[in-house]
Structure 1
Amino acid sequence: MPRPSGPPTVRLRLLAAELQELRSAARLTREQVEEQAGVNQGTLWRIEKAQAKPHNGTLEALFELYGVPAERRTELLELAQAAKTPGWSHTGPQQVHDAGYAAYVAFESQAKAMHNYESIYVPGLLQTEEYARASMVDGPPMERAVIDARVRIRTERQAVLSRQGDGVEPLQFWAVMDEALLHREVGDRSVLRRQLQKLIDEADRPNVTLQVIPFSKGAYPWMNGGFVRFVFGSAAPDLIYEERLGGSVFMEREEEVDRYGFVFDQLRARALSPRDTIAFIAKLMTS
């Protein structure tokens, strides 16, 4: 079983997360997988931790046991074949569990911290259910069932802000937002008002930091963009995620991560302080 030389790439980490999710969905332990598919428990552990690149034969045995559809098998095999290639992008129709979205959710659950800049919508981890639904209904065309599923998943994802357990701490979330999104009536005025109140409420968490860049600051670099930095600590290298019109992109090269880190530092230096941000949002609610 080949081991990656150096840190695992985003593709190998995505493959590992997908395989672990498939095993969980099949409700199988590693011991049961060894008994039924002949894949050693230690080998499977290394695969699911992105510490080893699986052979095609191993993948096929796992796919058969997990009941993976043929189309999905092809996608995962292609992902495994390109596991040494840094970076990853995904284009295509928005499904409930498309590869880009599944990757984002997997990395979000594994990260120790996230740095998020948004200029269009409130960050997903801070959205009310009705705001999230309105943003999807008014966004690119999606089937109603897909919207319902994505709203449910987005709401469930917010549990990372309050997760607890043995050795598990809540996600440290730092968001910088452009003032424009605090005025944009996603849904209607009442939906926006309740969303602003949720921002104030979420900011009470010790692990959530919010900052707003007000209109009075004028134009600034990256004003019309949006990105996320996943911080994994010593467990793995950080990742950058950016959603573009043509699809989603993950970046992992050190120079790319450093560049986005520098941009985020510049953005939060330009923004209001966390305390002034909450006062600013509260004032908007009374205007």
Structure 2
Amino acid sequence: MPDRSDDQPLDWLEAELQDSLDEDYEIEFSEPMLSQEIRKIYRDNHPDLLDRKTYFRNLLRLQAELIKLQDWVEHTGAKVLVIMEGRDAAGKGGVIKRITQRLNPRVARVVALPAPSRREQSQWYFQRYVPHLPAGGEIVLFDRSWYNRAGVERVMGFASADQVEQFFQDVPEFERMLVRSGIILLKYWFSITDEEQQMRFLMRVHDPMKQWKLSPMDLQSRVRWEQYTKAKEDMFARTNIPEAPWYIVEGNDKKRERLNCIEHLLSRIPYTEVPHEKVALPDRVYNPDYERRVLPDALYVPKVY
């Protein structure tokens, strides 16, 4: 074995990249199980995708900053709420996954509510969202939010015109109340082109590992593309308030989308690095009279690999 005693220590980023490459490749295994023909069509339509090396280096750098943000949120008791909305297949789930990938789930959590129950439908519209708002020292990411009423509920006819109008009147003041209460509120809209959504839906149709992502609502979003566009434009016009503006993230390149969103999120929160005491691993206590018990083989998971 060669002597490495004279080697310079690796930069922390290089070390982290090497240590976690397998994990990251697994998470990044998003290329679907498609025929070579469909893969070629997709690559031909995306000639300027961000290269993997640049992506990983910047992702790891940004995730290190997210950990600093997490420490600051815990230390100061800040409350951070991030709303993620957008077209179906626009990549918001992938962005959420990269934001939370290295964070403490007790600090950063994701809220993705199902369709409202009959009881919830009879409540004040915002009522079912309120219990999930962040407390002090928490970061909450809403994977879709109360803006369902301005989008899918409106387009699909699940809400009446009066209900939609009431929503538009209420939501600005509701969000101002959240901001006045001390919540840092960020609202992101993930945008892709008509052609890109069509391509991604076709990929899901032909990928057995992603077909579960296609719901009847997703399929209807293709049929009603123009209706969703009009609903989105109305939503921006009536809910883009100074206290809680919308930020549009272009998503045709998923890697750029992730990096741009995280970079922007970090820029909108006034976090600072929190000093930490140096961690020292204590010595293990050895008891000379202790004998480890032999456990029965039936308790162990079979070593298939």
Q: TM-score, normalised by structure 1?
A: 0.28
Q: TM-score, normalised by structure 2?
A: 0.27
Q: Which structure: larger Rg?
A: 2
